[in-house]
Amino acid sequence: MILVDDHCHLTHELYKNDLDQVLERARKAGVVAIICSGVNVPTNREALEIAKKYTPLVRASLGIYPVDALGIPADESGLSRQEGPIDLDSEFDFIKKNKHDIAAIGEVGLDSHWVKDPELQKKQRENFARVIQFAEDIKKPLVVHTRDAESDAVEMLASSSVKNVVLHCFTGRKSVVKRAIDLGYYFSIPAIIEKLQHFKMIAEMASINQLLSETDGPWLSPISGRNEPANVLYTVRNIAKVKGFTEEEVANNIWLNFQRVFG
């Protein structure tokens, strides 16, 4: 079976000691493509390095995480920390310089779960608007993270001309899911669909042609402990169950979708 993990964080310290083995297990499981996501200045550089080392299996996506962009100190996350706010112009320059070596821009988006202050939320929307504009300019797909701001994020995207949008681990309510389906956006379904009804609902609502698979490793394990790319099989298995297709059919379809989005 051909599998893809279009969103995970291989730069995380939990992979520091055994990334070779993690990727070997992924290969054995049938994973042919992994997108390692950056979120800020240091992790974008680390993601590029990992992609270079493990090419062609691993590709990088360079991001400007909405919380990191504002320079709000995150809890201990296990990822390299952003010192102070991200200088968008200089990071855009960096991404542009590497645009032939990356699969996408992401993760980017809006997060009102960690950003509650209305002034900062406004700043966050301004940043996201600039990121969307940038993605239009360099013609790369956008991998969007959004939490407690799903409708705002989708409407901002809808009013732009970007078409290649991947909503990663999308937690929006049913009406917003419907809206995103109508806009032709893709849903990257995490392996934790194994445990969460919400993602089964999305898998049911969206066409198979709009679904992708991810782990968001090392987080959101469908079993327990550290998550890793080989676990995308859980996504495929659950989509197959929900839609009444074979796992093979789902995997092949997701592979086609992956190529359509990320090239």
Rounded CA gap, 6 and 86, in Å?
Answer: 24
202-241 mask for Zn ion (x: CB under 5 A)? --------------x-------------------------
Minimum CB distance to Zn ion smaller for 111 or for 216: 216
Minimum CB distance to Zn ion smaller for 91 or for 216: 216
Rounded CA gap, 217 and 232, in Å?
Answer: 10
Minimum CB distance to Zn ion smaller for 63 or for 240: 63
Q: Considering the complex, what minimum distance in angstroms separates the CB of residue 136 from Zn ion?
A: 22
User: Residue of minimal CB distance from Zn ion?
Assistant: 216
Q: Note whether 40 and 18 are within 8 A (CB).
A: no
Minimum CB distance to Zn ion smaller for 144 or for 250: 144
Rounded CA gap, 171 and 142, in Å?
Answer: 17
What's the CA angle centered on 7, arms 128 and 39, to 5 degrees? 45
Chain positions 146 to 165 lying near Zn ion, rule: CB under 5 A, are none
Helix 118-138 to helix 150-158 angle (10° resolution) is 40
Q: Considering the complex, what minimum distance in angstroms separates the CB of residue 65 from Zn ion?
A: 8
Q: Considering the complex, what minimum distance in angstroms separates the CB of residue 245 from Zn ion?
A: 27
What's CA 159's distance to the chain center, in Å?
Answer: 21
151-162 residues labelled b (16+ CB within 10 A) or e (exposed): bbbbebbeeeeb
Q: Considering the complex, what minimum distance in angstroms separates the CB of residue 209 from Zn ion?
A: 23
Number of residues that bind Zn ion (CB under 5 A): 1
Minimum CB distance to Zn ion smaller for 43 or for 210: 43
Q: Considering the complex, what minimum distance in angstroms separates the CB of residue 25 from Zn ion?
A: 20
Which residues have a Cβ under 8 Å from the Cβ of 112 and sit 6 or more positions away? 121, 147, 148, 149, 152
Minimum CB distance to Zn ion smaller for 68 or for 216: 216
Q: Considering the complex, what minimum distance in angstroms separates the CB of residue 249 from Zn ion?
A: 27
Rounded CA gap, 62 and 34, in Å?
Answer: 14
Question: Which of helix, strand or coil describes residue 186?
Answer: strand
Minimum CB distance to Zn ion smaller for 150 or for 216: 216
Rounded CA gap, 170 and 241, in Å?
Answer: 20
Alpha-carbon distances of 86 from 34, 47, 72, 76, 262, rounded to whole Å: 26, 17, 10, 18, 25
Q: Considering the complex, what minimum distance in angstroms separates the CB of residue 217 from Zn ion?
A: 9
Return residues touching Zn ion (CB under 5 A). 216
